[in-house]
Amino acid sequence: MLGLKKKNKSSLLSILPEVRGKYLCNEMMSKHTWFGVGGPAEVMYYPEDDDDLSWFLKAKPYNLPICIIGGGSNLLVRDGGIPGVVIKLDSKFYKKWQISEGEITCGAGMRNSQLKKILLENKLGGLEFLTSIPGHLGGAVRTNAGCFGKELKDVLIGATIINGNGEVKNIPAKDLSLSYRHSLFPDDWIITSLTLKVNAQEPEITQKILDEYKQYRMNTQPHNVKTAGSTFKNPEGLRAWELIKKSGCAELEINGAKVSDKHCNFLVNTGNATAADIENLGEEIIKKVKENTSITLEWEVKKMGIAK
Ligand SMILES: Cc1cc2nc3c(=O)[nH]c(=O)nc-3n(C[C@H](O)[C@H](O)[C@H](O)COP(=O)(O)OP(=O)(O)OC[C@H]3O[C@@H](n4cnc5c(N)ncnc54)[C@H](O)[C@@H]3O)c2cc1C
């Protein structure tokens, strides 16, 4: 049976393979991004498991555009939406985890924050920094997520991927070429699970670290707002927020897309801003910072899809 929920049926569906997972037509990406913006994905596909995903990738039309999203916490999806198929790993299969000696293997669809309970209940430590970063573990690999002096590459042992031909491969961490908020592996690789280093640690110590990290974020970053975190990468040896402030951008606003009062490198959708408003605000900041400091800021937020 074609695992299908129809909203407004897309003609694309008629050429997609039958899967055990679920297809959704014209699914609004605004429901899947922390910014709360983004037009429709022509088709969204939730694979049931690796076999289902692998079958889909082998049987799909050769030139079908596909992309993968995680928790949407680092995405700016444009208002015209995403043509083709957007894949999201959200079934139970992608949230499974298993601990063995000094390591934990987790499905890529697991939220980073879910690791808190696992660390505490199993007397483990080493991943506290990761639990404080929004999003899913697959996204954390792609972005080499990091904070509090640690990044994913410091704890990653390896990952399982499925490539564009539907082949499953185990890849050691070094071959994913992770660097500051960046990874260098083929665009058609989908991370489906990953193995991370952990160490034995009393829950009281883990909880203390978690509390410190939480408090730091509460004090320094906006919360309960629509944002995608740091908008721009820190240029080598510099801080993006300082450059933004110095360039007179701290109070910039375009139709409800605004520079956060609490952290200049966070852009916030204060209400009904569109993706175009947020992107235009970001580009305005890049222009002003360039004029004032000669430095070109680079987007950390990933832009996807087409303009309206
Ligand atoms: C309030 C806030 C605070 C934040 N603080 C931090 C921070 O301290 N440090 C930090 O590094 N980031 C931070 N971020 C940014 C964001 O949380 C991270 O970049 C996160 O790792 C993105 O994961 P995600 O699952 O949401 O990925 P998404 O935003 O959905 O996608 C990000 C990229 O990963 C790719 N991707 C997603 N899943 C997979 C997969 N399974 N296989 C292959 N590619 C995949 C997508 O195609 C896309 O290119 C913050 C964001 C917010 C909103």
- pLDDT per residue as tens, the chain (308 positions): 344 444 556 789 999 999 999 999 999 999 999 999 999 999 999 999 999 999 999 999 999 999 999 999 999 999 999 999 999 999 999 999 999 999 999 999 999 999 999 999 999 999 999 999 999 999 999 999 999 999 999 999 999 999 999 999 999 999 999 999 999 999 999 999 999 999 999 999 999 999 999 999 999 999 899 999 999 999 999 999 999 999 999 999 999 999 999 999 999 999 999 999 999 999 999 999 999 999 999 999 999 999 99
List the CATH number of the domain containing 294: 3.90.78.10
Residue 1, pLDDT score: 35
- The Cα 284–Cα 45 span in angstroms is 35
230 counts as catalytic? yes
Domain count, the chain: 3
Type of residue numbered 196? L
Please state the length of the chain: 308
Q: 195 and 113 in one domain?
A: yes
For residue 12, which phi and psi values (nearest 5 degrees)? -60, -35
Residue 8, pLDDT score: 53
Residue 101 CB: number of other CB atoms within 10 A?
5
Q: 262 and 243 in one domain?
A: yes
Q: 82 and 19 in one domain?
A: yes
Collapse the DSSP code of 304 into the 3-class scheme (helix H, G, I; strand E, B; otherwise coil) and give the result: strand
Strands 66-69 and 82-88: parallel
Residue 6, pLDDT score: 46
To which residue do tokens 């879910």 refer? Answer: 114
H or E element at residue 121? helix 115-121
Residue 280, pLDDT score: 98
20 counts as catalytic? no
Q: 108 and 77 in one domain?
A: no
239 counts as catalytic? no
Q: Is residue 165 in some structural domain?
A: yes
List the CATH number of the domain containing 115: 3.30.465.10
Pocket of ligand 1 (CB under 6 A): 34, 67-75, 89, 108, 133-136, 138-140, 142-143, 145-147, 181, 190-191, 227-229, 302
Q: Which of 205, 234, 263 is the last residue of a domain?
A: 205
Q: Is residue 214 in some structural domain?
A: no
Q: Which of 205, 238, 268 is the last residue of a domain?
A: 205
Sign, CA dihedral 235-240-243-247, equals positive
Ligand 1, atom 17: nearest CA belongs to which residue? 134
Q: Is residue 218 in some structural domain?
A: no
Collapse the DSSP code of 106 into the 3-class scheme (helix H, G, I; strand E, B; otherwise coil) and give the result: strand
Ligand 1, atom 19: nearest CA belongs to which residue? 74
- The Cα 94–Cα 119 span in angstroms is 19
- C-alpha to C-alpha distances, 301 to 44, 69, 77, nearest whole angstrom: 21, 13, 10
Q: Is residue 284 in some structural domain?
A: yes
Strands 146-147 and 150-151: antiparallel
- Active-site annotation holder among 20, 103, 181, 183: 181
Q: In terms of Cα–Cα distance, which of 255, 263, 179, 167 is closest to 219?
A: 263
Residue 2, pLDDT score: 44
Domain of residue 129 covers 95-205
Q: 72 and 146 in one domain?
A: no
Residue 11, pLDDT score: 85
- The Cα 66–Cα 87 span in angstroms is 7
Round the CA-based radius of gyration of the chain to a whole number and report it. Answer: 20
Q: 107 and 161 in one domain?
A: yes
